[in-house]
């Protein structure tokens, strides 16, 4: 893809080591505004490492990461348009939904009146409009995840990172959240990078980036990747990739 194109997230030739172990090797992924990308791979593939680099928790050994055109070398400016939902839940259980969200807005310098308006709209879109006064500890796992998604989008990020957001949820709740996440580019206007190891969360038209042992193995439309590999699902494709590496 040409460098002149505007990307919500632009990762170029990024490599990273943990001590002497190579965790990511020459990784390049570019995501356009409003695009959803599924980051798929088994545990240890490099998904969490890549997220840590994007969030500025680690610095890449080589290569570059840009968010909305801003290099992570200027972290304060580059990270401003980034929203994050971590795998571990981070809400304050003893505060209400609205109190959690108001605190987040205050951290981002959003005026109280504007914050209340954004919170009300976001909770409505996520079917939580009547839960704003409920303490977080009274919510089920799916509703807590929705609150975290609402929180991560209140500052209107250009890209939202989701790290295994459905882990630990029951099947009906997980299916509902999957639908919600797929709608985020439309409902929230942001690009989405969604890390998972669960292939049943992928829809045929999704763009899928597959990682294995720190390397980018596949990048393309879900249905095309399966057709080209002559397999029926991504579990089979990952097994094919892993087998090829072991030959």
Give the count of beta carbons closer than 10 Å to the beta carbon of residue 213: 17
What pLDDT, in 10s, does the model give residues 202-240?
Answer: 999 999 999 999 999 999 999 999 999 999 999 899 889
pTM reported for the whole predicted model: 0.90
**DSSP readout, 57-107?**
SS--SEEEEEETTEETTSHHHHHTTEEEE-SS----TTSBHHHHHHHHHHH
Domains of the chain: 1-81+159-247 (3.40.50.300), 92-156 (no CATH)
DSSP state of 119: H
Q: What are the φ and ψ backbone dihedral angles of 51, each rounded to 5 degrees?
A: -60, -40
Tens-binned pLDDT, residue by residue, of the chain (247 aa):
444 457 999 999 999 999 889 999 999 999 999 999 999 998 889 999 999 999 999 999 999 999 999 999 888 889 999 999 988 889 999 999 999 999 999 999 999 999 999 999 999 999 999 999 999 999 999 999 999 999 999 999 999 999 999 988 899 999 999 999 999 999 888 999 999 988 889 999 999 999 999 999 999 999 999 999 999 999 899 889 987 765 4
What pLDDT, in 10s, does the model give residues 104-132?
Answer: 999 999 999 999 999 999 999 999 999 99
Residue 151: CA count within 13 A, CB half-sphere: 27
Residue 183 Ramachandran class (φ > 0 left, ψ -120 to 50 alpha, else beta)? alpha
């Amino acid at each position: 893809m040409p460098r002149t194109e505007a990307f919500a997230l632009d990762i170029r030739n990024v490599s990273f080591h943990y001590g002497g172990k190579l965790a990511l090797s020459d990784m390049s992924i570019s995501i356009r505004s409003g695009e959803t990308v599924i980051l798929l791979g088994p545990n240890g593939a490099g998904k969490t490492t890549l997220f840590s680099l994007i969030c500025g928790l680690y610095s890449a050994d080589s290569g570059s990461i840009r968010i909305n055109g801003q290099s992570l070398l200027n972290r304060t400016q580059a990270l401003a348009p980034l929203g994050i939902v971590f795998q571990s839940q981070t809400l304050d259980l003893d505060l209400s939904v609205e109190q959690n969200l108001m605190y987040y807005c205050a951290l981002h310098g959003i005026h109280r009146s504007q914050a209340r308006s954004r919170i009300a709209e976001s909770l409505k879109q996520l079917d939580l409009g009547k839960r704003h006064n409920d303490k977080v500890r009274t919510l089920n796992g799916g509703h807590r995840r929705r609150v975290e998604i609402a929180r991560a989008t209140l500052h209107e990020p250009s890209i939202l990172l989701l790290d295994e957001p459905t882990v630990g949820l029951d099947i009906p709740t997980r299916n509902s959240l999957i639908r919600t996440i797929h709608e985020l580019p439309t409902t929230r206007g942001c690009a989405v990078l969604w890390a998972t190891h669960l292939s049943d969360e992928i829809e045929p038209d999704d763009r899928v980036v597959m990682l294995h042992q720190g390397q980018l193995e596949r990048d393309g439309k879900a249905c095309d990747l399966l057709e080209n590999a002559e397999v029926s699902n991504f579990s089979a494709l990952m097994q094919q990739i892993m087998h090829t590496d072991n030959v």
